Structure 1
Amino acid sequence: MKPLSRPLDLGTLFDDMAARGTSTVVHLSRPLDVAPEAGWELEIPEAAALVRGLSGRMARAGVGPGDRVAIAKRNHWDYVLLSCAAARLGAVPASLSAHLEPRVLEELLKRLEPALLVTDTALLGAAAEEACDPRVHARRTLVVDGRAEGALTMDDLAGAEVPPPCRPHLDAPLAIMHTSGTTGTPKLVVHSTRTIMRRLAGFEAHRWPVLGSRPDDTVVSSYSYAHGRALAWTASVLRLAPKTMSVITSPDWAEAGPALEAHRPTILEAQPSTLGRWQRHTEGEDTPFDRVRLFVSTFDAMHPSTVRSFLNATAHRRPVWMQGWGQSETGPLTFRFFTRRSLERDQGTTPTTRDLGRPVPGRTRLRAVDPETLRPVPTGTPGLLFCRTDALCLGYVGEEGRWRSKLVGQWWSTGDIGSIGRTGSVRLVDREVDALAEGGCLEIEDVVDERLPEVLECVVLGVPDGDPVPVVATGSGELDHQGWRAAVADLPAMADPVVLTWDELPRTGTGKVRRGELRDLLGLHPGTRGTGRWT
């Protein structure tokens, strides 16, 4: 394989990898929505040809340099291919999750004013049921899987000439993605080539000990491919050229199970809610996780019981779990490794994975400050966490004032409350907006998960003038209240639990619980003890 002659670029990523001779084969848990005829398996030259074809279609639809292309469709890795195609034209792709409520999607599209909206019939149908029409906010609309009134189809644009690639300036807008939106309307985060391709993907694209993939690895991912993580993951994995990349688009075991069996991972990265749903499939002697040497979790911290279950499910002698913490605006800020032995050492103590590890050496810096004075707090004292990183995004689309309000000098507010120990290790307490008068939501949720295995998810909601309200999801929608009282007897006072099923919890595209929507669902006061200033 030839050495890569130039740094990672989004628009020509697959062309560059094909020219390099990268032999990685991409396996899909279902065919691509933009090219179902391509089947379940792609080689890199085929992926490069798809990107060129999509780029030509976008150009024929009127997309040019500097335009925005909004992508909102069913979850799949073709978010990445569409983003590459737009970037190849010098346009700026904006990935929007199909999990967004129709009116929220409309609000984000108003901010973007895209030249082209790439979508599907299911999303347009769901929007119509809510009396919404996202097409009105785009100059033109392309439907990838059928026809819709006034919209272009893939066949309409077939055979278009492919323009030569247009490479943006390192610090010009390259791609837009949105935050999770757990507490309100998501922010639209703008990244550049320097921040997401050089700082984030470029850093990962080294064969680091333990973390870097090897030529014989099978690297598997399953999360929301509308998230910016999908761009960095794809670029860094292809740069290292493992034998196999496998993409799983749904947490449902009916789709995920066969994909995992067919291509058993040696490296597995998935969002926490997906790993939680797969946890029951870690039991038994022959599981699809038996070859994994490295588990990677991002987006949110994991419950200790889930980490333990997966580490015990693999036959690898010394498997490692790497937990990263960061935000869409910053990329990873800290990381921590878990092993079977480290989890055993924690037995008998209050279980938690909220110790987030240390800042990425030479890449990020963190400090905790008093939320009111913004002065540093003593070591080990909880405060508002600020960071410094060269991977910080460029801003928020349509909310520049909000973006600037989170900057204090060169320090960026994460909106999280946590403490920094003597060794630099970060312990997360809560989002500032979710802060409790006593204890922390996240640690209470960890303890409940550890003590009550029948609880699939626990979400603690703070209220302004009373005890926090725990919401628990179980398989049956029922709970042993006597067992609950015994499990939480030594925890801070809480109201009686609200019991739901897993599917009744409103979630974001990355599986996080939409706390604001959950409050509305339960009829709780919308306010919290936190100020929400830094959200």
Structure 2
Amino acid sequence: MFPLKDLFRPVSAPLHLYDNFRTAADTFPNSKIHLDIPLRVFPELGTQTTYAAAAAAVGHLGEQAILLGIKPGDHVVIYKSALFDSYLLAVAVSYAGGVPVMISPHLDAETVTVMAARLKNPWLLFDDATAAKADAIASVDASRKAHTDTVRAHQVHAATGPARRPDVHDIVYMTHTSGTTGIPKLIAHSPTSMGWRVTWQRRVLSFLDTSGLVAFHISPVHSRFNIGIASLMSYGFPLLNIGDPGEDNVEQMMRRHRPLAIESHPNHLVRWASILDRDPSVFASVRYLHSTFDAVNKGTMLKYLRASKHRMPVYLQVYGQSECGPMVLRAHTRLSLRFSNARWMGVGMPKLTRARVVDESGNPVARGQQGAIEMFSRGRAVTYYGEQDRFEQNLRGPWWNSGDQGEIGHFGQLALHDRQVDLIDEVKSTLALEDALLDKLPFLNEVIMVRTPAGDPQPVISLTDRRTMDWDAWWACVAEMPRLERPVILPYDRFPRTATMKVQRNRLEHLLRDGISDAA
């Protein structure tokens, strides 16, 4: 366990991907890793393995990566199907001394071409899911593109051992922004920046029962995946990676494994709430729920907490960004949610993270007044690789401009209102409107407010499976809200999304203007 004396003082160790993985495997060799889908890059692991077996497989693939030609400092784009082996492949690249560059398989070849052009003669590792797009990526030399099967084909006769550790301030890992407003930016991480994030996460995990199974469905190309897995493994938690977020598979995995804790993207948790509507017992074993990236509406959190068989289940809501890591947290219970507003995200972690709200000149505004949210984080990323000027535009001394709008409450807690680029005139918080509609109208499973060409609020909604639109309930609910346009109804799967399931609001606006059809 994390020493109690260290819980609220800044103690951190640099995070080296392979070293952390190997140390966890040596310390907890028999801790289990469960998978819902066999891994093509590591077929020998099956769907149930151990830390020790996974570490051995990763080390072997690291040797094969060295035989492929990957050298210390090489940039290695990992652009493959979104499964747990994406992370294991990154750890293997780290073994070889390469710098894993995690790219979402959802991105098209044109976008990845622009991103890869910022790198230094990169390698590109792909699989069947991305092979056609990988072939079209023009900024990577054909000789440095390799199918994961090609990597595995190399015969290891004499192991060389892992590459020498890089400096703690070197760039050793890259992820990317969501790309909701354009070409994603490459976020560069160092062992030091990742180490502080693990310290943040370990403080939270120190209160959990380490014998309990932790389930998760997180984009493996997101920095959250790396920090989450590294932190969990440092305690020896048994793990369940859910690769397929489909409702039938999630229900099957939850019934089979009965996890104590689960983490996923907010939008997945909102959609899985329809499982709870059918049978709350599916999530009865869960005592701890965790979501980051965005806020979740109160009704969804309550559904999960009420489904738990435990006396005091907790929903930990975390607000953060890829550039800064987890920042602000708030623990919700069944009782607290009866009297709280889910838009209030909580407070920072003492001595690690802080949030403030400022005006256009960077002056902190009075509590209760809306402004731009700025963040201080010991785990802030190093830069946007190849775009240092763009990174520095977001800095004000040690403070990072989050791009979000909000306020600080009377007790120092942060409220999240909107992204600054999504503000709508005469609407204080579109996110609050979306929450209210989801909480009050159970036939909805997605509500997104965008702007009409005239700048008015336009709701775009989807309906819960097997439910129909109740127009009387809709108009009664919105009667006391700012004037909204008649909602556009779309199937859930037609909303344009990022790798972490965030809706790409600007793209949705453009699709509506281009005449996307209403499903009603």
Q: Structure 2 length as normaliser, TM-score?
A: 0.91
Moved more, 479-488 or 377-386: 479-488
Report the equivalent of 2:442.
453
CA gap 1:396/1:421 in 2 versus in 1, 3 angstroms: same
Partner SS state of residue 215, structure 2: strand
CA gap 1:137/1:420 in 2 versus in 1, 3 angstroms: farther
From 180, 195, 199, the equivalent of 2:196 is 199
1:359 aligns with 2:340: no
RMSD: 2.3
- List runs of 5+ in structure 1 lacking aligned partners: 146-151, 347-351, 526-535
Report the equivalent of 2:250.
256
Report the equivalent of 2:164.
166
Report the equivalent of 1:516.
506
1:247 aligns with 2:244: no
Report the equivalent of 2:20.
13
From 332, 336, 358, the equivalent of 1:338 is 332
Report the equivalent of 1:531.
none
Partner SS state of residue 11, structure 1: helix
Aligned-residue offset at 1:365: 2.0
Report the equivalent of 2:301.
307
CA contact (8 A) 1:214 1:241 kept: no
CA contact (8 A) 2:347 2:354 kept: no
Report the equivalent of 2:481.
491
CA gap 1:232/1:126 in 2 versus in 1, 3 angstroms: same
Report the equivalent of 2:10.
none
Aligned-residue offset at 1:10: 0.9
Report the equivalent of 1:91.
98
Report the equivalent of 1:148.
none
Report the equivalent of 1:228.
223
CA gap 1:300/1:336 in 2 versus in 1, 3 angstroms: same
From 369, 374, 382, the equivalent of 1:394 is 382
Cα distance in 1 for partners of 2:467, 2:333 equals 33
Cα distance in 2 for partners of 1:91, 1:289 equals 40
- List runs of 5+ in structure 2 lacking aligned partners: 4-12, 516-520
From 196, 212, 216, the equivalent of 1:217 is 212
Counterpart AA for 1:142: A
1:53 aligns with 2:60: yes
Cα distance in 1 for partners of 2:45, 2:367 equals 55
Report the equivalent of 1:122.
129
Cα distance in 2 for partners of 1:279, 1:409 equals 42
Partner SS state of residue 173, structure 1: coil
CA contact (8 A) 1:171 1:192 kept: yes
Residue deviations 1:98-147, cap 9 Å, x none?
A: 1123322222122234532111122123567xxx33684565122125xx
CA contact (8 A) 1:367 1:385 kept: yes
CA gap 1:153/1:169 in 2 versus in 1, 3 angstroms: closer
Cα distance in 2 for partners of 1:180, 1:301 equals 16
Report the equivalent of 2:456.
467
Which runs of structure 2 are paired with 1:261-410 in the superposition (5 Å)? Answer: 261-283=255-277, 287-346=281-340, 352-371=341-360, 373-410=361-398
Partner SS state of residue 118, structure 2: helix
From 119, 144, 167, the equivalent of 2:148 is 144
1:420 aligns with 2:408: yes
Q: Percent identity?
A: 34
Aligned-residue offset at 1:22: 3.9
Residue deviations 1:334-357, cap 9 Å, x none?
A: 0001100011224xxxxx421100
Report the equivalent of 2:7.
none
Report the equivalent of 1:479.
469
Counterpart AA for 1:140: R
CA contact (8 A) 1:301 1:354 kept: yes
Aligned-residue offset at 1:8: 4.5
Partner SS state of residue 481, structure 2: coil
Residue deviations 1:11-37, cap 9 Å, x none?
A: 222321232244311001111121123
Q: Structure 1 length as normaliser, TM-score?
A: 0.89
From 184, 187, 192, the equivalent of 2:185 is 187
Matched positions, count: 503
CA gap 1:459/1:498 in 2 versus in 1, 3 angstroms: same
Partner SS state of residue 268, structure 1: strand
Report the equivalent of 1:533.
none
CA contact (8 A) 1:114 1:138 kept: no
Cα distance in 2 for partners of 1:164, 1:382 equals 50
Report the equivalent of 1:72.
79
Report the equivalent of 1:42.
49
CA contact (8 A) 1:117 1:135 kept: no
